[in-house]
Amino acid sequence: MKKVFKVLTLLVICVALTVTVFGCSGKETATQSSTPEATASSGAAKVEEVKKEYRFVMIPILAQSWFDIVYNASVEAADVLGEQMGTKITIDYQASPTADLVAQNELLERAIATKPDGIAIDCIDVQAQLPILREAINRGIPVVLYASVSPEGEMIPYIGNDFYEQGAFAGKELLKRIDYKGKVAIIHGVPTNQPHAERYQAYLDLFAQYPEVEVVATVFDYDDIENAQKEAAAILSAHPDLDAFAVCDAAGPVGAGIALKEAGKVGQVKYVGIDDLPQLQVLMQEGVLDLSVATRPNNIGKWCTTSLLMTNLGIEPVIWYDTKFGLLTPDMVKDGVIKGF
């Protein structure tokens, strides 16, 4: 009875920490089931005592600033929870230099083989990678998706926001800046990544409603800033009368902003950013853009750690934690780069 009471106390502390210590900077949207099947499918295991140490593997799409923010926040949460729970939580960060599906699958399979206490991953192609994710779950390894959305019918927890809604919001703000008419180029991210694809589709659906808006080019930057800069520069050269860029990932607005500075077209070609990378904040300080719609990577990282620890403790985590999105504006960064959302 004493052991059960101890476990229940620890579980209550864990839940309380996710709300009070980290804060909820957005409305939580939960769609979860308490059935045994749902618990098993999410990799939950009934553990009666807190272990001395946990190792969670985190795998991003690629090595890039946005994912660094998620990782750092995940480590911060690990330190806080570890201290409160009397355990050590290590975040084993494994990133490929480019967004390559084969490379990410290799990292995922290697992680499974090391039998970690949990895996957090932003999948390049979640549908294609579902069999490997199921392999991890079947081996009793908790899995949480971040940014990537859990496939329909699956009970794999995921952390992010409504990316279509985010794209539609950014698109509407962009249209205001060009008076709902003109030539627009879209800088897509990774073709198979769901958040990037949903923002892209939101742009297409929105722009189709305005006869005087013409999409003159669509390119892919694979969530790489250098690629985004090159693609944006090529578009500016091919379309000197371009009115706006629409961006689908965190790399796009940074690359586009650099290209606009190099071409001397800051202010002439409008765009609204996605996310809150330090490089984007510097561009905002320089007057290159006046708004960015951020996915709250700090909140995502903290909830990755929290969700995996909850699962290890036998608590079924929230299946969808909706971070919503935040707005980054020039007045927020006028005194220097901030931590962001």
Please tell me the total number of residues recorded for the chain in this structure.
341
Architecture of domain 2-161+296-324 in this structure = 3-Layer(aba) Sandwich (3.40)
Q: CA-CA distances (angstroms) from residue 292 to 89, 170, 179, 247, 296?
A: 33, 8, 19, 10, 12
Retrieve residue 325's tokens. 């999105």
β-pair type (118-121, 53-59): parallel
The string of pLDDT tens digits covering residues 75-101 is: 999 999 999 999 999 999 999 999 999
**pTM here?**
0.84
Binning pLDDT at 50, 70 and 90, where does residue 151 land? confident
Say whether 163-294 and 2-161+296-324 share the same fold.
yes
Q: What is the CATH number of domain 163-294?
A: 3.40.50.2300
Domain segments of the chain: what residues? Answer: 2-161+296-324, 163-294
The string of pLDDT tens digits covering residues 38-56 is: 333 444 445 458 999 999 9
Position 46 scores a pLDDT of: 55
Q: What integer is the mean pLDDT of 234-242?
A: 98
